[in-house]
A and B are shown apart, each in its own frame.
Chain A
Amino acid sequence: DAKTTQPNSMESNEEEPVHLPCNHSTISGTDYIHWYRQLPSQGPEYVIHGLTSNVNNRMASLAIAEDRKSSTLILHRATLRDAAVYYCILRRNNAGNMLTFGGGTRLMVKP
């Protein structure tokens, strides 16, 4: 399976935008880019996913590089509740819908 590389941790100030990078240089044409986050003492929750085009939803935006070898999750205004571990995951479009989690990026938000 193609792997992703993320920084171990990042810091942000409250109410400022946050850009969380992810490198996936071995991505294949059928891999979807998924982002999940895990708040302390909870299970992961879905944030956003995309294939080739940039995507927006109520939680975040996903910017995908033209060559698809990297992507960036954008939180437009970080809040203290956004402090979590963010996982960038490549999901192959096959039966099973399986996710392979890496180490993720721990986002700390300062008031």
Chain B
Amino acid sequence: DAGITQSPRHKVTETGTPVTLRCHQTENHRYMYWYRQDPGHGLRLIHYSYGVKDTDKGEVSDGYSVSRSKTEDFLLTLESATSSQTSVYFCAISEFGDSPSYNEQFFGPGTRLTVL
């Protein structure tokens, strides 16, 4: 299994509080991603990173910010959590190149966030 961990795995917080989720990888992959998944739906991309300090927005980036100061860590921050951000958050990593083994995304176990 790819070395991806997410912390915390579960979190309950109140509306208006800041929340930071951490994704840590031991694979030295260049690309890292944050997705959210709501009940009965597929994953939606929030932000992604293509290198240290290089990030870009995904499909549902409003209300979220990210930072990547080291290759192995990608942080997702909810500056002021809202109930609509209650979801399961998945981190993923990938490399990019011509080899068939590239281009897969490897996913972490997820963080279940509840905003009351």
Q: Which residues of A contact B (CB under 8 A)?
A: 32, 36, 42-46, 49, 87, 91, 95-104
Contact among A42, A46, A103 with B106 in the assembled complex (CB-CB below 8 Å): A46
Size band of the B side of the interface?
20 to 34
Sample of 18 further A-B pairs with CB below 8 A, known A99-B43, A104-B42: A32-B103, A43-B110, A44-B107, A45-B106, A49-B104, A91-B103, A95-B96, A96-B48, A96-B56, A97-B31, A97-B94, A97-B96, A98-B33, A98-B48, A99-B45, A100-B59, A103-B40, A103-B41
Contact among A32, A43, A100 with B109 in the assembled complex (CB-CB below 8 Å): A43
How many residue pairs bridge A and B at CB < 8 Å? 52
Q: Nearest-CB distance from B37 to chain A (Å)?
A: 8
Whether the pair A44, B43 counts as a contact (CB closer than 8 A) is yes
